[in-house]
């Protein structure tokens, strides 16, 4: 049986962590999955980082800094100053900025003090410019001609908005020299990556030698205004309507990119147990060379994140005894699985 898209996605993440970029000089990267905007989630996100700046980012802790915290931390002055003098107008009421300042204080990423009735701030460290490029990869293991045609509008939207520096589609090779369905159906700006090995090969056929670039992507202009395609005509015989667009300012794109990178920093790609049920007695992690893949012993397959939920008819909580004897007091195998993946996430953070 063909493996689910979810497993393919995990393999792509693992491959990107080891082998990015597909050709050319190695670059330090941070890999995450299922990130993007409210309207669009990318399957795999590769954040190319500046190694030194990335190391300095660690001063701000493991948790992401959201848009509000970034606004405060990045604009905080070197010397004590009243926050309303120090920070640019946020575009929303100052009382929300005060809340963010208190949050930053609690997280120890900002110096805060009261002078009379005035709240003063001072930066603890300069927020480093750690993000070099952001690459979006759409995973489609079984991409036939009709699936490629269906995917086209989505990739066109990504290209028009140019929020990521590159957009790729990753698929399993069909055996043809080039994947004809892909080349014909996808926008030329998108790269096409094919994995040619067998699922039972090392890294599930995602070894460097089993990866082929069928088409290189065009670098998108992330500093130019982006175009969001709001509505497009169906193109049918009776549809004479025009597509509608809106422009997205470069500053807004820069902000969104950094927020995406911050989320990638917090989550990595091994955090999938948070949306699955590792506390189910049938949940296992199976070793595949250096990779751990979720496996359901009840269904004898690699389960998807959507199926592995409390709604699963086979779900059975791990027995309480698992939580008492050999397993650490604070949890059973489910917790141990989470800890194992968390420790791997740490190990694979770029130096
Ligand atoms: S039985 Fe259902 S909930 Fe339990 S591991 Fe399998 S898929 Fe997940």
Transcribe 313-334 into DSSP letters.
Answer: TT--BPPGGGGTSSS-TT--HH
- pLDDT for 24 equals 78
Helices marked H in the chain — which ranges? 5-19, 51-57, 67-75, 83-86, 94-106, 145-161, 180-185, 250-267, 333-347
**From the CB of 284, is ligand 1 less than 6 Å away?**
no
**From the CB of 283, is ligand 1 less than 6 Å away?**
yes
Residue among 282, 300, 333, 338 whose CB has most ligand 1 atoms within 8 A, to mutate: 282
**From the CB of 312, is ligand 1 less than 6 Å away?**
yes
Residue among 283, 294, 300, 334 whose CB has most ligand 1 atoms within 8 A, to mutate: 283
**Residues of the chain falling short of pLDDT 50:** 328-329
192-246 per-position pLDDT tens digit? 998 876 666 555 556 666 788 989 999 999 999 999 887 777 666 666 677 788 8
**From the CB of 314, is ligand 1 less than 6 Å away?**
yes
**In whole angstroms, what is the distance from residue 115 CA to residue 95 CA?**
17
286-320 per-position pLDDT tens digit? 887 667 888 899 998 888 888 898 899 999 987 76
Hey, whose CA ends up nearest to atom 8 of ligand 1? 308
CA-307 nearest atom, ligand 1 = 7
CA-283 nearest atom, ligand 1 = 5
**From the CB of 277, is ligand 1 less than 6 Å away?**
yes
- pLDDT for 328 equals 47
Hey, whose CA ends up nearest to atom 4 of ligand 1? 315
Distance 8 CA to ligand 1 centre (A): 19
**From the CB of 315, is ligand 1 less than 6 Å away?**
yes
pTM of the full predicted structure?
0.86
Helices marked H in 107-243 — which ranges? 145-161, 180-185
């Amino acid at each position: 049986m063909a493996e689910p898209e979810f497993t393919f996605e995990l393999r792509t993440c693992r491959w990107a962590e080891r082998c990015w970029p597909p050709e050319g000089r190695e670059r330090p990267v941070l890999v995450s999955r299922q990130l993007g905007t409210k309207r669009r989630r990318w399957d795999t996100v590769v954040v190319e980082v500046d190694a030194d700046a990335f190391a300095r980012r660690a001063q701000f802790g493991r948790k992401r800094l959201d848009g509000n915290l970034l606004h405060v931390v990045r604009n905080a002055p070197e010397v004590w100053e009243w926050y309303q003098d120090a920070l640019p107008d946020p575009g929303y009421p100052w009382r929300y900025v005060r809340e963010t300042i208190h949050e930053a204080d609690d997280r120890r990423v900002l110096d805060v003090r009261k002078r009379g009735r005035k709240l003063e701030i001072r930066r603890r460290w300069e927020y480093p410019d750690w993000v070099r490029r952001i690459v979006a990869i759409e995973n489609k293991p079984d991409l036939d001609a009709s699936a490629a045609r269906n995917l086209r509008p989505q990739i066109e939207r990504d290209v028009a908005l140019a929020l990521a520096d590159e957009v790729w589609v990753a698929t399993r090779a069909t055996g043809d020299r080039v994947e004809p369905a892909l080349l014909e159906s996808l926008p030329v700006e998108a790269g096409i990556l094919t994995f040619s090995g067998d699922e039972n090969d090392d890294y599930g056929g995602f070894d460097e030698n089993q990866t082929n670039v069928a088409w290189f992507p065009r670098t998108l202009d992330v500093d130019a205004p982006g175009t969001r395609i709001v509505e497009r005509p169906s193109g049918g015989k009776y549809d004479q309507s025009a597509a509608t667009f809106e422009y997205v300012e470069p500053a807004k794109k820069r902000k969104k990119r950094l927020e995406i990178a911050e989320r990638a920093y917090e989550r990595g790609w091994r955090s999938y147990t948070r949306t699955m049920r590792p506390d189910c007695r049938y949940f296992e992690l199976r070793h595949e060379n250096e990779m751990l893949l979720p496996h359901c012993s009840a269904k004898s397959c690699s389960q998807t994140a959507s199926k592995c939920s409390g709604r699963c008819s086979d779900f059975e909580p791990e027995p309480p005894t698992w939580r008492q004897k050999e397993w650490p007091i604070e949890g059973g195998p489910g917790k141990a699985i989470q800890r194992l993946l968390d420790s791997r996430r740490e190990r694979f953070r770029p130096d």
